[in-house]
């Protein structure tokens, strides 16, 4: 089989799906020129492949070595449908490459009028200068220039030239494809890691920002008492595909912290986007055999990255020897998970209950049962029927979805691959 970049370039959906189903593969790897699979699919107009890559977690604003994003390539080749998909997934229409060109520069230069109009309607600036002092309108033919000028004026854009600015932060805040080295390691010598700043701490360990072989990563340092040979063996065997687990940095913050902060606004549209991101991730995790059985879904285990994409932190998946029998976040746990042994419940159904509570958080921006202690929450949820109350004013579609996911009968709760299409329709509206 050809490499994944060729398959994406040629639009071989079956081969791409098979490649994505292999959990050892990293869809955010770059080729020799830094092109990710999503770059190639967008460049060649492979809409079906683009859908698959985005759903599986392809990074929307990833840059190749020339700082082109997938949106640059889709715009320059006139793939209007793909431009619309990327914009809907929060692609930045004003991101610049090494020449200072935005996607609008290329749409204007190549005469893709409809793509140019769509970009301006999505906030692309018509008068931003590239490195050579040229604006998108400077590259447009007269009829398109007039059209964009009128559209920009209606949207309240200034028609004064915006000078090009060298982005001194390039390389630290920008997202580039991974080079593959991290994911091919069976293990990393701890001495090779440089731990720079502690990000978070909980009962299972500490989360640090760090560097390894030039890559910015996040490292989970486990807190384990009395390390033994058996625990070392269990660590290596329980989930070999998650053993060497690194997380792309930078990310903005944890979803739990976002709820208690006014730094970012989470409107209903963004809430649905986060919910779709999380549901897509869980749908994938539920295809794994064996399951990642000790990953407890809650907002403390969701990271929001610089693309405003919600990502499940696999660093929070517990190993068998970590805190056995203890539950630290009962507010998100299904009643049966609090009443029965782990081996006696349907883990997938229990995750769906947790997702319903998380969805409640997203639309209310409140912490469930914040006035109670963890012990009180656990007892009341398990024995007294304590449940989150849905306040008035919430979208009826979201209310219905929450009630479906929080069905008292675990067997009647939907699966994640069933609710992903529902959330996609909500996002479109």
Q: 265 and 238, same structural domain? A: no
Alpha-carbon distance of 282 to 414, in angstroms, equals 13
CATH number at residue 272: 1.10.510.10
Mind listing the pLDDT tens digit for each residue in 302-352? 877 766 788 887 665 555 444 555 666 899 999 999 998 878 889 999 999
Q: 259 and 206, same structural domain? A: no
Does 170 reside within a domain? no
pLDDT at position 143, please? 94
Domain edge (last residue) among 105, 136, 154: 154
- How many domains does the chain fold into? 3
Q: 255 and 230, same structural domain? A: no
pLDDT at position 70, please? 96
CATH number at residue 43: 1.25.40.20
Q: 414 and 324, same structural domain? A: yes
pLDDT at position 387, please? 95
Least confident of 52-56, 278-282, 306-310, 425-429: 306-310
Does 160 reside within a domain? no
- Residue 119, pLDDT above cutoff 80: yes
Mind listing the pLDDT tens digit for each residue in 63-114? 998 889 999 999 999 999 999 999 999 899 999 998 999 999 999 999 999 9
Q: 214 and 271, same structural domain? A: no
pLDDT at position 26, please? 84
Q: 204 and 80, same structural domain? A: no
Domain edge (last residue) among 233, 249, 265: 249
Does 167 reside within a domain? no
Mind listing the pLDDT tens digit for each residue in 80-91? 999 999 999 989
pLDDT at position 170, please? 41
Q: Computed over its alpha carbons, how large is the radius of gyration of the chain?
A: 23
- Residue 168, pLDDT above cutoff 50: no
Q: 102 and 22, same structural domain? A: yes
* 306 vs 181, higher pLDDT: 306
Mind listing the pLDDT tens digit for each residue in 185-231? 445 666 667 777 887 676 667 777 777 666 667 676 766 566 555 55
Mind listing the pLDDT tens digit for each residue in 244-295? 444 444 444 444 444 444 455 667 888 899 999 999 989 988 887 767 666 7
Q: CA of 23: how far to CAs of 26, 246, 251, 289, 301, in Å?
A: 8, 15, 23, 11, 20
Does 54 reside within a domain? yes
Does 180 reside within a domain? no
Least confident of 29-38, 159-168, 215-224, 400-409: 215-224
Q: What is the mean pLDDT of residues 128-150?
A: 93
Q: 265 and 221, same structural domain? A: no
Angle at 240 between CA 239 and CA 243, to 5 degrees: 90
* 41 vs 205, higher pLDDT: 41
Does 73 reside within a domain? yes
Does 312 reside within a domain? yes
CATH number at residue 196: 3.30.200.20
Sign of CA dihedral 120, 123, 129, 130: negative
Q: 369 and 405, same structural domain? A: yes
pLDDT at position 259, please? 47
Q: Look over the chain and give the mean of its residue pLDDT values, rounded to a whole number.
A: 81
For the whole model, what pTM was predicted?
0.49
pLDDT at position 257, please? 44
Confidence band of 44 (pLDDT split at 50, 70, 90): very high
Give the residue numbers spanning the domain of 243. 189-249
- Residue 49, pLDDT above cutoff 90: yes
- Residue 173, pLDDT above cutoff 60: no
Q: 417 and 287, same structural domain? A: yes
Q: CA of 197: how far to CAs of 134, 187, 201, 203, 249, in Å?
A: 41, 22, 12, 18, 12
Domain edge (last residue) among 201, 229, 249: 249
Q: 121 and 77, same structural domain? A: yes
Q: What is the mean pLDDT of residues 134-143?
A: 94
Does 217 reside within a domain? yes
pLDDT at position 187, please? 54
Alpha-carbon distance of 94 to 216, in angstroms, equals 25
Q: 126 and 87, same structural domain? A: yes
Q: Burial level of 264, CB count in 10 A (0-12/13-18/19+)?
A: exposed
| For the chain, percent of residues with pLDDT exceeding 70 | 74
């Amino acid at each position: 089989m050809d490499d994944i970049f060729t398959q994406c370039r040629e639009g071989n959906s079956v081969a791409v799906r098979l490649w994505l189903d292999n959990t050892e593969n990293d869809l955010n790897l770059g080729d020799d020129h830094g092109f990710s699979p999503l770059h190639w699919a967008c460049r060649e107009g492979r809409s079906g492949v683009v859908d698959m890559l985005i759903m599986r977690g392809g990074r929307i604003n990833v840059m190749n070595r020339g700082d082109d994003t997938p949106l640059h390539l889709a715009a320059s080749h006139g793939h209007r449908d793909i431009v619309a998909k990327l914009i809907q997934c929060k692609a930045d229409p004003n991101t610049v490459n090494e020449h200072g060109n935005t996607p609008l520069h290329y749409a204007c230069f190549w005469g893709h009028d409809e793509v140019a109009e769509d970009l301006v309607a999505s906030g692309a600036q018509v008068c931003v200068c590239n490195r050579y002092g040229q604006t998108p309108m400077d590259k447009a033919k007269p009829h398109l220039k007039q059209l964009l000028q009128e559209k920009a004026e209606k949207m309240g854009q200034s028609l004064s030239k915006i000078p090009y600015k060298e982005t001194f932060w390039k390389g630290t805040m920008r997202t580039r494809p991974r080079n593959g080295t991290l994911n091919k390691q069976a293990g990393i010598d701890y001495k090779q890691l440089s731990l720079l700043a502690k990000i978070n701490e909980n009962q299972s360990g500490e989360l640090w920002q760090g560097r390894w072989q030039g890559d910015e990563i996040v490292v989970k340092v486990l807190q384990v008492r009395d390390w033994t040979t058996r625990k070392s063996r269990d660590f290596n065997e329980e989930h070999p595909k998650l053993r060497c687990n690194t997380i792309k940095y930078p990310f903005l913050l944890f979803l739990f912290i976002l709820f208690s902060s006014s730094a970012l606004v989470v409107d209903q549209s963004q809430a649905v986007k986060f919910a779709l991101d999380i549901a897509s991730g869980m749908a994938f995790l539920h295809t794994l055999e064996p399951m990642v059985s000790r990953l407890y879904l809650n907002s403390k285990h969701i990271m929001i990255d610089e693309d405003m994409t919600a990502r499940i932190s696999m660093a929070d998946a517990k190993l068998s020897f970590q805190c056995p029998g203890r539950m630290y976040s009962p507010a998100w746990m299904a009643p049966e998970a609090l009443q029965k042994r782990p081996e006696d419940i349907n883990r997938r159904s229990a995750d769906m209950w947790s997702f319903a509570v998380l969805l409640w958080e997203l639309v209310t921006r409140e912490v469930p049962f914040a006035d109670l202690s963890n012990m009180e929450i656990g007892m009341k949820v398990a024995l007294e029927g304590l449940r989150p109350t849905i306040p008035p004013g919430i979208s009826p579609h979201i209310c219905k979805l929450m009630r479906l996911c929080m069905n008292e009968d675990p067997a009647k709760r939907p699966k994640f691959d069933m609710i992903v299409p529902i959330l996609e329709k909500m996002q479109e509206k």
